[in-house]
A and B are shown apart, each in its own frame.
Chain A
């Protein structure tokens, strides 16, 4: 008995059988190897969509039809969710007036993919609770809101940068936070040319386009105090000097285009990145920028390695005669 076993073992080690023996051992290893924790990259994004009226401007194209900025941004976001590695988390929020309204804190992408899409598709301009669109303040307050969250999400702020009422060139909302404390990405949407902004009633019925005399063409500082004092007392700065008033010219605030210089400046002020939305692939690449990711241990299956070696070993054991000595 022992002799037979010894003989079998000897045969198993013989050059004839060795590749087979090795392959069997490797397949055994592949079958039992548990997933190993390896560092992998994942992302936690809080995606905030601008739902103010300028986002209804039709300056994108989808399947040959003109679509508005919000629709195109939603479409691109839905596509780029697939590019995020499992374990990443996405949350949704909307921006209107001067603030963020969070709809969903970040949840895992792969297991909640359909739910995330369902919530994304229910986001529209009718959710908006006010007419104003103070992008800078909205961005700053979003950063403040996210700073204290447990999951430390990065902020993805999707906007066209259209400020309504417009900003005074000198008096701008100031960012009092620490640049880079909340990492993030500003996604600029919109075309480079000025386009009319569609107008809707509260129930979403179209009412044509906004006209020049229907929107505020000047910033609040230039307008001065029209409310309490009759003749519009001019604003003064800290030293009491009257703030240079902007010449009131026929404005273009009823038209909208992507304000990328403004957004780039906001990005550099807050330590965020800037990306102009062109297509889903570009957005996916921007969302998976290693800068925004974090490394955490991800259970990784490594059994492919011994299995592959096993296959090669078997193939070697049965290699055609002509490759033999």
Chain B
């Protein structure tokens, strides 16, 4: 990155290497009055005035000066800086709330397989990351925010449209083991609060990716429900089943089934809610289809217009102007002495 950038026209034109402009006075050389074409001759008053010849000569010099100016601007790196433009498309703002607790390091086993000796299965976290990466890749126009949680929620990427940054955040979850605890309540709240003080511009989705093993107390439930309602968030839960889990639809009172309790709570919040089971290979397609179907309100988004380098055009202009100058030189008859040689 170059610090020395001259903004000619803020947001429209800039020079990346303005020091080259010091060469600009060279453009005065062709315009400098000179006596090159004068000859020692006693009297020229009898010669007819060659208006056309003079004009061509002058035009040639101006063209040469232009060529120098254009080439120097090219050298100085004339460019249109990267700009952003507000546009309205269809899409959603999605907060991904990703479980980073240690239970996610356990393998995801298909139903009915024994956990102890089966080492072929992928870790739950890995499955989750793969699913998320797919999801984000399939809906590239959406705006994403990524939040990790275990003991406390950690905002990794605030809302962005840069897919590679989101993917890098998801990928980073694969480095090292998970953390020890799971506070899913605070994570849900922090996820919903991501939308606080944000202009409502498009559908809002909280995409929870978790094996969901934690109870939420009543006070926290209230806070979460209010945050969901306040921000009009739709909740999608990609549920990654633990080996011995009874599943989302187990009887809540049948022992300790926190995921079923969470499922029931989320259903009761009154906001649009849907759960997907991650072991189903179709889950991502389903989730994307669901989001496609429901969450395509107009989304104000910022389109980035990449930087455009004009130096090539400058050099082309210099070529053109130089060619005109050359043509002027060629069609005018140079001093008699030179012409006589040929």
Contact = CB atoms under 8 A, between A and B. Distances in A.
B29 interface: yes
Nearest to B309: A301
A93 B1 CA distance: 23
Interface stretch (B111-119, B170-178, B230-238, B247-255): B170-178
B91 interface: no
Interface in B165-184: 165, 168-169, 171-173, 175-177, 179-181
Contacts of B67: 23, 27, 310, 314
A123 B169 CA distance: 14
A146 B30 CA distance: 61
Interface in A1-34: 7-8, 10-12, 14, 16-17, 20-21, 23-24, 27-28, 30-31
Nearest to A109: B1
A177 to B, nearest CB: 15
Given A16-B338, A310-B318, A101 B179 contact: yes
B169 A103 contact: yes
A145 B64 CA distance: 61
Nearest to A20: B326
Interface stretch (B44-52, B149-157, B274-282): B149-157
B319 A24 contact: yes
Contacts of B323: 24
B165 A127 contact: no
Contacts of B312: 31, 303
Contact of B318 (A30, A106, A111, A321): A30
Nearest to A106: B168
Interface string A296-325: 000001011001101100110111110010
Interface in A101-121: 101-113, 115-116, 118-119
A115 B162 contact: yes
B71 A105 contact: no
B318 A129 contact: no
A182 to B, nearest CB: 13
Given A93-B172, A105-B175, 14 more contacts: A7-B342, A27-B319, A31-B312, A82-B1, A93-B175, A100-B176, A101-B154, A118-B157, A126-B152, A301-B309, A303-B315, A304-B311, A307-B315, A310-B71
20 contacts: A8-B330, A11-B334, A16-B334, A24-B319, A27-B67, A30-B318, A30-B319, A31-B315, A83-B1, A85-B1, A100-B176, A101-B148, A102-B172, A105-B172, A107-B165, A129-B179, A311-B23, A311-B72, A321-B35, A324-B36
Nearest 4 pairs of A and B residues by beta carbon = A102-B175, A102-B172, A30-B315, A27-B319
Interface of B: 1, 3, 23, 26, 29-30, 32, 34-36, 61, 64, 67-68, 71-72, 74-75, 100, 148, 150-152, 154-158, 160, 162, 164-165, 168-169, 171-173, 175-177, 179-181, 309, 311-312, 315-316, 318-319, 322-323, 325-326, 329-330, 334, 338, 342
Interface of A: 7-8, 10-12, 14, 16-17, 20-21, 23-24, 27-28, 30-31, 82-86, 91, 93, 99-113, 115-116, 118-119, 122, 126-127, 129-130, 141, 145-146, 149, 202, 301, 303-304, 307-308, 310-311, 314-315, 317-321, 324
